[in-house]
Amino acid sequence: MPFNRTVFGLAVVLALAGPARAEPLSKNCPAPEAVSEATVALPHAARMLRREGAIRIVALGSSSTLGSGGSGPAASWPAQLEASLARRMPQAKVTVINKGQMRQSVPQMLDRIDRDVLAERPSLVIWEAGTGEAVRGAEVDELIAGLVAGIDRITAAKTDIMLMDMQYARDTARIINFEPYVDAVEQAATMRSVYRFPRYDIMREWVEREQLTFDGRSKGEAVRTADRVYACIGKILAEIIARSLQPR
């Protein structure tokens, strides 16, 4: 199925725009217990923290990593992750470098791993992927193969990696079948024993509990909603990373 930019654009708008009376997402950013208690093996990040007192992360992804639909770069989840992690680990120098690019597929991201990711010498990469493939109806096996290839290149460079799957919005999920692609990201993570951050499931729970809505929103409300989502994603990721690097 050929790439359709119109459909892709619609998916992004629906995911970050749009019953208007639902309760707003709490600043507590609730997450399922499996996420709120998750710890991740981050040996390279832990080593950098011990040796240099620093945490250096690259966020690799497409539109939602760049911050599409939000108020600007400072509202994107990588920026929010940096701010939240710095608050939780004030003794460390925290740097999160945003390498999101609009509408990118996994093969396009693979092409820039060396220059955009490994050249930054991170100790951790958070790779958001799969949305472009779901919008185009790409072969699931190709997505898995691309993710595994990318994981192998990143880990060979002695860098930790976490995967992140797609965003969820009820209207978008009615027109795009994301589930096989969510499963594909999980399968790639399982094959290489890396952590998948289940953004799709977290956001679906927020929507189903009426803590979050994308429907019937004005442009300003849609931007505020996107900012709140990005802030919560950054906050939850920061909690996982801090908990993993500072075991009790």
DSSP H helices in the chain: 5-16, 33-36, 43-52, 63-66, 77-88, 106-111, 131-136, 140-156, 170-175, 179-191, 199-208, 219-245
**Residue 57's pLDDT is what?**
98
Q: How do 195-197 and 160-164 pair as beta strands? A: parallel
DSSP class of 244: H
Residue whose entry in the numeric block shows the structure tokens 């680990």: 89
C-beta separation of 109 from 60 below 8 A: yes
H or E element in which residue 231 lies: helix 219-245
Task: Kindly give, in sequence order, each residue whose CB lies less than 8 Å from that of residue 115, ignoring residues fewer than 6 positions away.
Answer: none
**Residue 3's pLDDT is what?**
40
**Residue 8's pLDDT is what?**
43
**Residue 10's pLDDT is what?**
40
Global pTM value: 0.89
Rounded to the nearest angstrom, the gap between the alpha carbon of residue 28 and the centroid of all alpha carbons in its chain is 18
How distant, in Å, are the alpha carbons of 88, 175, 204, 232 from that of 236?
12, 28, 15, 6
Distance CA 164, CA 130 (A): 9
**Residue 216's pLDDT is what?**
63
**Three-class SS state of 91:** coil
**Residue 218's pLDDT is what?**
84
- 8: closest CA among 131, 107, 100? 131
Q: How do 93-100 and 124-128 pair as beta strands? A: unpaired
Distance CA 229, CA 245 (A): 24
Tell me the pLDDT of the chain (248 aa) as tens digits.
Answer: 444 443 344 444 444 444 444 456 877 899 999 999 999 999 999 999 999 999 999 999 999 999 999 999 999 999 999 999 999 999 999 999 999 999 999 999 999 999 999 999 999 999 999 999 999 999 999 999 999 999 999 999 999 999 999 999 988 999 999 999 999 999 999 999 999 999 999 999 999 988 887 666 788 888 999 999 999 999 999 999 999 998 66
How distant, in Å, are the alpha carbons of 89, 136, 154, 158 from that of 121?
20, 32, 10, 10
Distance CA 96, CA 137 (A): 31
- Could you give all domains of the chain from N- to C-terminal order, each with its CATH number? 30-245 (3.40.50.1110)
H or E element in which residue 217 lies: none
**Residue 82's pLDDT is what?**
98
**Residue 248's pLDDT is what?**
63
**Residue 12's pLDDT is what?**
45
Q: 39 is written with which tokens?
A: 């710890």
C-beta separation of 195 from 39 below 8 A: no
| CA torsion, ordered 23, 28, 32, 35, to nearest 10 deg | 150
